[in-house]
Structure 1
Amino acid sequence: MPPFEAPVSASASDASISRRGIARTTSSHLRPEDAFLANSPPHRSSNNNGAPGGRRKRDNHGSRSASRRRPRTWKKLLWVKQAYPDNYTDEETFLDHLQRNPRLRPYDFWPLVADSTVIVQHIGSVIIFVCCFVGIFQKRVSPVSVPNGIGTSASYSYYPPYETQTSSLSPRNQERLATAKSAILIYCALLGLSPILKSLTLSTSPDSIWAMSSWLLIINIFTFDYGAGTESKFPASLSTNAALMASTVLASRLTYTNEVFSLTLFSIEVFGLFPVFRRHVRHSSWTGHLLLTALIVLGAGSGLCVTITGGGWKAGVIGAILGGMLTCLAMGITSWWLIGLQRYKNEIHGPWDPARPIIRRHWD
C-alpha cells in the first residue's frame, strides 16, 4: 500500500513559490558595496543549512573589506579625486549656505528725502532755464539780465574760499588766472559764433525744434550724475552735451544776436558751472544746501506759473507756494514708494553662484 501523502494547500504552494522568486531576485541584484568595486560579481544569498562554512567565511571577509572601502566624505572640490561623479550633490549640505538678500540695506524715510534734494535742484535748474528761454523768446525778459542772475553763484564754483596766500603767484592764484583766461576765451568764442548759431536751424520746422530740445533736456535729466562728489570737477559728459545741444537748438530760434549770446552763455552757467557750485555747497554746508534747494524750488515754481499764465508778481507768488507744496508732496510719495518696493526684492545667493575674481589695482 503506498504511503499516505498529505495534500498541499494552494496558499502554501504559492508562498513557497514567492519565497523562491524573491530569493532568486535578490541573488541577482548588486549590493551597495559592490558599486565601489571594479569587477565584483553579484553576491548570491544562500541558506545556512546548505551553504558550506568556507563560503560563509569568504562572505564575511568580503563584507568586512567592503566596509573598509567605504567612500570618504564628499567635498565640493573638483580637483580632488573622489568616489563620486562630477555632478554629485550632497542633499544634506547643499542649502546650508543659502542666503536671501545678503546685501540689502533697508531705506529710511528722511535720508531718502534728503537725498532727493539733489534731483530736485537739477530739475528746478532745467525749469528755470526753459522759463528764461520762453521769456526771451516772447520779449518779456531782457537778454542781458538773464546770464547775470546766476553768473555770480556759478563763477563761485571756481573760486571757493581758501586761505590767503602770501605770494601773488601761488598755485591757487595761477589756477585762478588760468580760469580767467578760459572764461575770456569762451566769451569771445560765443561772441563770434552767435551770428552762426542764430541761422543754424532756419530750414527746420519749429515742431522739430521743440521736440528735439525736449528730448535732449530729458536725456540731460536722466543721465545726470546725482551721486558725484567734490572730486569730480565737471558734470557727466553725456548730460552736459545734451543740455548744451538743447540750448544751441533753442537759441537758433531767437531773433537777435545778443539774445543768442545771452542764452548760450546762460546755458553754460546753468549746466556746466552751477552743478559744481551745488555740489560744493552740499559737501560744505548742509544748511546752505537746504536753503539753495528752497530758492531753486521757489524760483522754478514762480517762473513756471508766470510763463504758463502770463501774469505778474501775483502769479509768481502763487506759483512759488504751489511749487513748494507739490515738491514736498512728490518727495514724500516717492520716498515711501521706494521703501515699499524693497519688500519685493528677492535676491538669492547660494553655493552654486560663480566665484567673483579679485582684481588688484596695486601690487605689494
Structure 2
Amino acid sequence: MEIPEWKRVLWKKQPFPDNYVGESFLRVRKKCKKLSLSEALYGASAVTHELCSCLGLVVIFFGVSEGNLDSSVVLTLTAVLGILGYLITKDQLATSARDDAKIACFYVVLIGCVSPVIKSLTRSVATDSINACTTLLLLLRLVLHDYGTSVAIVNPTLSHNVGLFASVCLASRLESDLDVFTLMTVAVVLFALLPTFRRYCRSGLGRAWNVLVTGVVIMVTGCGVALYAPHLLPLMALALVLCNCVIPALYISCQDHKQNIYGPWDEAQIEER
C-alpha cells in the first residue's frame, strides 16, 4: 500500500499520528533579492546624497560664522534653487500651488519670528557640547532617513525633526538674526525639500543621469568642505569610501549567507494569485 504524502494542513484527516511531521514541515529557502555590485553601488548613492546634505549644512555654518560667506548671498541662492526645484517637481506634488505658497509663507514668518530666540537659546551651553549634540543628531538623521526601502527603522518624521534640531543647535552659535534665518532656511531646503527632489530625479531620470548628479553633488560638497571646513575633509573622504565602496562590497559578499527558516509558527499571510 502506497503511503500518502503528508501535508501541513489541519482541515484534512491524514493517516498519521498527531505528533507526526513530514519532511516539508520545515521549509528552508533563501528569501533575499540578489543584487549585483553595480546595483549596490547605485543604491548607496541615496545615502551619499543625504551625507552631502548634512555636510553642506555644516559647511554653510562654518562659512557664515567665520565671515567667509555672505548670509544674504546664501539666502538668495537658496531661495532661487528652492523655487527652481519646486517648479520642476510641482507636477508630482499632491498639493496645489496656493497651499504650497501658504506653507512657504508660514515657514518664512515662523523662522523670522524665532530667529532672535534661537540666537540666544544655548548661550549658557558650552560649544563642545553643542558640537557633540549636532554630530549625534545628524548621524541619527542619516540612520532614520527614508532611502526608499520599507524597513522598521525608517522614520521620515523623526529624521526631519532631528535634522532641524541639529540646525537649531548650530544656528544658536551665530551672531546675527540674518545669519540664523539663513541657516534655518538652508536647513529646511536641505532636509525637507531636497529629499523630495532627489526622489523625483531617481524615478524620473535614468541611472546614468543619477550617477552624474551624484558626482556633481560630491564635487560641490567637497569644494565647500575644502574651502570653509578643511578639517572635515578627511572625515568626508572616509565616509564616502565606507558608504560607496566598503559597505556595498561587504553586502555583496555576505548576501549569499542570508537565509530564513519558515514554518507553522509564521504569521499567516494571504498570497496573491
Q: TM-score, normalised by structure 1?
A: 0.62
1:304 equivalenced with 2:232 (yes/no): no
Deviations 1:12-50 (A, max 9, x none): xxxxxxxxxxxxxxxxxxxxxxxxxxxxxxxxxxxxxxx
Distance 1:72-1:281 versus aligned 2 partners, 3 A rule? closer
Which position in structure 2 is the counterpart of 1:107?
35
Unaligned runs of 5+ in 2: none
Which position in structure 2 is the counterpart of 1:46?
none
The correspondence of residues 268-347 of structure 1 with structure 2, limited to 5 A, is 268-286=188-206, 287-309=208-230, 327=240, 331-347=244-260
SS at match of 1:160: helix
1:160 equivalenced with 2:160 (yes/no): no
For 2:33 and 2:75, the matched residues in 1 are separated by 43
Which position in structure 2 is the counterpart of 1:255?
175
SS at match of 1:348: strand
AA aligned opposite 2:97? R
Distance 1:78-1:251 versus aligned 2 partners, 3 A rule? same
AA aligned opposite 1:354? W
Among 162, 171, 180, the alignment partner of 1:242 is 162
1:186 equivalenced with 2:70 (yes/no): no
- After TM superposition, give the deviation of residue 99 of structure 1 in Å: 4.4
Q: TM-score, normalised by structure 2?
A: 0.81
Which position in structure 1 is the counterpart of 2:131?
210
- After TM superposition, give the deviation of residue 181 of structure 1 in Å: 2.3
Choose between structure 1 and 2: higher helix proportion: 2
- After TM superposition, give the deviation of residue 152 of structure 1 in Å: 2.9
Number of residue pairs the alignment of both structures matches: 261
- After TM superposition, give the deviation of residue 329 of structure 1 in Å: 8.0
Among 71, 74, 90, the alignment partner of 1:146 is 74
- After TM superposition, give the deviation of residue 151 of structure 1 in Å: 3.2
1:87 equivalenced with 2:11 (yes/no): no
AA aligned opposite 1:86? D
Assess if the C-alpha contact under 8 Å between 1:159 and 1:176 holds in 2: no
Deviations 1:258-278 (A, max 9, x none): 111111111101111111111
Assess if the C-alpha contact under 8 Å between 1:155 and 1:273 holds in 2: no
Which position in structure 2 is the counterpart of 1:176?
97
Assess if the C-alpha contact under 8 Å between 2:48 and 2:243 holds in 1: no
Assess if the C-alpha contact under 8 Å between 1:252 and 1:260 holds in 2: yes
For 1:345 and 1:261, the matched residues in 2 are separated by 48
- After TM superposition, give the deviation of residue 184 of structure 1 in Å: 1.8
**Structure of greater Rg:** 1
For 2:53 and 2:6, the matched residues in 1 are separated by 63
Distance 1:85-1:113 versus aligned 2 partners, 3 A rule? same
AA aligned opposite 1:275? P
Assess if the C-alpha contact under 8 Å between 2:89 and 2:197 holds in 1: no
Which position in structure 2 is the counterpart of 1:196?
117
For 1:215 and 1:143, the matched residues in 2 are separated by 26
The correspondence of residues 22-61 of structure 1 with structure 2, limited to 5 A, is none
For 1:329 and 1:75, the matched residues in 2 are separated by 48
SS at match of 2:86: coil
For 2:103 and 2:7, the matched residues in 1 are separated by 66
* Structure with higher RCO (Cα < 8 A, 6+ apart): 2
For 1:255 and 1:266, the matched residues in 2 are separated by 17
Assess if the C-alpha contact under 8 Å between 1:156 and 1:277 holds in 2: no
